[in-house]
Every structure is written in structure tokens, then in C-alpha cells.
């Protein structure tokens, strides 16, 4: 297998021609024949025992050519790309130039990583603003902790109020007909959460346990179900119970539950953690400003497939995270009224930014001769192993050392630019 020619068609678009020798192609044909003959019936031979020559006379000399090409293509293409010294960033389009018993000549067309230039990446001027922690911030954080420690109690001596949890049966009707998805039993609805359509929750306020009543609502014009969008509907409600989240008292006993002797100690700890968070947020904002500047200073004619590929990476990652929650993309899209295309459009700006950032930082790695050692790569393998609860050796089997070092180099480039940035405090 060998590279025959490399042709630049246009900016970042290349076509290579490569071949597989007669011997290599013959070996692939023989391998395909031995695999496929088991499925072929030929009169006069037991199933799977017909000689290759007989099958070729019956179905043509090239009966196994296509499968043989598929057999050799991955390795032949990989070797040709390596010999051409190109970094491919898109799915290749293959074409057969010639094919016969003497071998096969193939073409592949693809986009390559663009030439990149970047200037003025040292001494970038940015502003660092660390948000001051206020008493309101501390109170808000503590209130959130109280809500987490709240206990649900039954209410029997009054009607529903805003903030209560109403336990209801409900069934919705549009034009007098019950509609799909509009029925529930013993549903715990937090009043004021706005989890149901506008106007629904407010009409439960003031009703008492045991009451049956109707609610009149109008579905939003941009509702995920076209059949209900903009329609008036009646929901028949049965109120079974009223519940209320009782917050724990804000005193030293509450602080002890959090691991502190006094409420003042607890508040001081909350303040310290908020200050640490604000410092990290400020550092992140500084990095964002630096990245923005790098992207502005980046010069590159980036092929569209690089952006498209990154968008698909985002989609796959989103699907994985949904599956961890017991959902998948199809179910998510059904419930939200979105489509895969609309999701791709949402991810597109972030994906484009990601691609440009990586190209800029990789160029800085090159210009500054940044590298990483085997020891640093091993340490990173250990970090990843801990993060994913895996053995380091297993991580190594999934991620090549070259990729690990490339990521480490990019992180070093960020730190280098950040260390040389002109950071003004605000």
C-alpha cells in the first residue's frame, strides 16, 4: 500500500491517490471469499464448500471486490495520510480509480487542519473584578440551606396558599374532550413554582381539602403540542391534601447540624466559602477575557467540517448526560418541542468558540515550544482515573499518550498567556 499523489484542490481541501498492491488485494479477496462462501449455495457442492473460481465464474470476477476494498481501506487510508503528513479534520469521500486482479487504486478527498497565525498574545490587557460578599449573599446562602433542611408537614386548618404543596388529581379537557398528557393523580404541585401553564397554580389558591372544582386556562401560543397551542381548556381538580415546608429555626442548633458550635461560626464559614467562590469566578472571567483576545487575534481559514464535528461532539455529550438521568435525546426533544437541528443551532456558537480557542492555543504551543513529559502524562492519567473511578491502565487504553500531552500543552499555553497578561484590578 502506498501514496501515489497529493493534490491541493482549494484552501484546506485535499485529494490523495493511493493504492493497494496485487498481493494485498488478493489476500483481502481471499479473506472475503472464506467469510462469504459459508452463505453461498452452488449446485454440485455442499453449502460453504464451493471453490472461489466457481463462484467467480457464476457471479463475475469482481464478486468479492467491493468487500475486499472495504477490508483494506481503513489501513490503506491511514498509511497514506501518514505518508502525506496531513491532519484530516473531516470525514473523507472515497472513490475507486481502478480495480482489477492487479490491485486497486483509490482516491480520498477531505479537509485538513488550517494554517494558523496569531500575534499579540503576550501582554493582553484584562480586568479582574472580585465581587464583594454582602450580608444579603450570606443570608441567601443560609436560606437555601434552611430550605434543604425543611420538613414537610400536613396543613388541615386552612385553604391553599402560595408556597404550599397541593396534592391533586387533575384532568384536562379541550373542546369538551380529554387530551393526552392532561391527567394526573395524587400529584404534588408546589404553588408558585410555575411548573404548570400560566394561570393554573394561581386558581388552586383559596381552595380547601376535599374540594372538587374547575380551572379555566389558555395554553400558550408557542406550546410544544400544536394541537393545544393557544387553546382554551378546563381542568377538573380534586384537592386531596395541603402540605407546607417548615424551615428549621435559624439558631445555634441549626449551626450545630452544619458542624459548627454557633450560628456566628457558621455564617463566617459561609462568608469564607462565598469569597473563595467569587475569587474563582473572577479568575474564570479573566481567562474568558484572555480567550476572547486570542480569538480576535487568530488568523485562520477554518473549514466548516471542524465546526460541524465539534457541534456533534456537544450533541453526543448532551445525550450521554441525559442518559445518566434516565432520558435520551429523542425523549428530551419530545417533551421540550425541540429538534436535533435546533439543538445543533444552540450548540453552534460554543462549538465555534471551542474550535477557535483550541487552534489559537495549539499555535502558541508551537511558537513557544511548549511540551509535556511522560511523568506529567502519567500524573494526568492518575487524575482522570480518580475522576472516572477507573484504573489508570484502563484510561491509557482509551486515550493515547499523545492526546494527553496535547491537552497538557494547551493548558500550559493558557497559563503562559495568563502569567504574561496585564491584569488590572477593579
| Domains of the chain by start residue, with CATH | 2-112 (3.30.70.1050), 151-246 (3.10.50.40), 263-425 (1.10.3120)
- pTM for this prediction: 0.73
DSSP 192-259: TS--SSTTTGGGGTT--TT-EEEEEEE--TT-S-TTTTT-EEEEEEEEEEEEEEEPPPSSHHHHHHTT
Residue 1's pLDDT is: 62
Which residues of the chain are under the pLDDT cut of 70? 1
Give the helix ranges, DSSP H, for 37-64: 52-59
The pLDDT of residue 2: 85
- Asked if residue 320 lies in contact with residue 259, where contact means CB atoms within 8 angstroms, the answer is no
- Cα separation, 380 vs 393, whole angstroms: 12
Q: Tell me what pLDDT residue 347 has.
A: 95
User: Per-residue b/e over 344-355, b at no fewer than 16 CB within 10 Å?
Assistant: eeebeeebbebb
State the pLDDT at residue 346: 94
Q: Give the chain's radius of gyration (CA, Å).
A: 32
Closest by CA position to 47, among listed 36, 58, 63: 36
Contact yes or no for 385/394 (Cβ under 8 A): yes
Q: How many helices (H) and strands (E) does the chain have?
A: 12, 13
Amino acid at each position: 500500500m502506498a501514496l501515489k499523489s497529493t493534490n491541493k484542490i482549494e484552501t484546506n481541501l485535499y485529494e490523495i491517490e493511493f493504492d493497494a498492491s496485487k498481493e494485498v488485494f488478493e489476500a483481502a479477496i481471499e479473506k472475503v471469499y472464506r467469510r462469504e462462501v459459508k452463505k453461498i449455495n452452488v449446485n454440485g457442492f455442499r453449502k460453504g464448500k464451493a471453490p472461489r473460481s466457481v463462484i467467480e465464474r457464476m457471479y463475475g470476477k469482481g464478486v468479492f471486490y467491493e468487500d475486499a476494498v472495504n477490508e483494506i481501506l481503513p489501513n490503506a487510508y491511514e498509511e497514506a495520510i501518514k505518508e502525506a503528513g496531513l491532519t484530516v479534520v473531516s470525514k473523507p469521500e472515497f472513490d475507486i480509480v481502478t480495480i482489477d486482479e492487479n490491485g486497486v487504486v483509490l482516491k480520498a478527498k477531505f479537509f485538513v487542519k488550517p494554517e494558523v497565525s496569531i500575534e499579540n498574545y503576550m501582554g493582553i490587557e484584562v480586568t479582574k473584578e472580585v465581587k464583594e460578599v454582602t450580608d444579603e449573599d450570606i443570608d441567601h446562602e443560609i436560606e437555601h440551606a434552611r430550605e434543604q433542611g425543611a420538613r414537610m408537614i400536613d396543613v388541615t386548618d386552612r385553604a391553599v396558599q402560595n408556597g404550599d404543596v397541593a396534592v391533586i388529581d387533575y384532568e384536562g379537557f379541550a373542546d369538551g374532550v380529554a387530551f393526552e398528557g392532561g391527567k394526573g393523580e395524587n400529584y404534588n404541585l408546589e404553588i408558585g413554582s410555575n411548573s404548570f401553564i400560566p394561570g393554573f397554580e394561581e386558581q388552586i389558591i383559596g381552595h380547601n381539602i376535599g374540594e372538587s372544582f374547575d380551572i379555566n386556562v389558555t395554553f400558550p401560543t408557542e406550546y410544544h403540542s400544536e394541537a393545544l397551542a393557544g387553546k382554551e381548556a378546563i381542568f377538573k381538580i380534586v384537592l386531596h391534601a395541603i402540605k407546607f415546608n417548615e424551615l428549621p429555626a435559624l439558631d445555634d442548633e441549626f449551626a450545630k447540624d452544619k458542624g459548627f458550635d454557633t450560628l456566628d461560626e457558621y455564617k463566617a464559614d459561609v462568608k469564607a466559602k462565598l469569597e473563595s467562590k467569587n475569587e474563582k469566578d473572577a479568575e474564570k472571567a479573566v481567562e474568558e477575557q484572555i480567550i476572547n483576545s486570542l480569538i480576535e487575534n487568530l488568523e485562520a481559514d477554518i473549514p466548516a467540517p471542524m465546526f460541524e464535528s465539534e457541534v456533534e461532539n456537544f450533541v453526543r455529550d448532551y445525550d450521554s448526560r441525559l442518559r445518566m438521568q434516565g432520558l435520551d435525546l429523542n425523549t428530551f426533544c419530545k417533551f421540550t418541542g425541540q429538534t436535533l437541528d435546533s439543538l445543533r443551532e444552540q450548540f453552534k456558537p460554543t462549538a465555534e468558540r471551542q474550535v477557535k480557542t483550541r487552534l489559537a492555543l495549539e499555535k502558541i504551543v508551537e511558537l513557544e515550544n511548549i511540551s509535556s513529559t511522560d511523568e506529567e502524562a502519567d500524573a494526568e492519567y492518575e487524575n482522570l482515573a480518580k475522576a472516572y473511578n477507573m484504573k489508570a491502565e484502563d484510561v491509557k487504553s482509551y486515550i493515547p499518550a499523545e492526546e494527553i500531552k496535547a491537552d497538557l500543552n494547551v493548558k500550559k499555553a493558557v497559563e503562559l498567556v495568563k502569567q504574561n497578561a496585564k491584569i488590572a484590578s477593579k
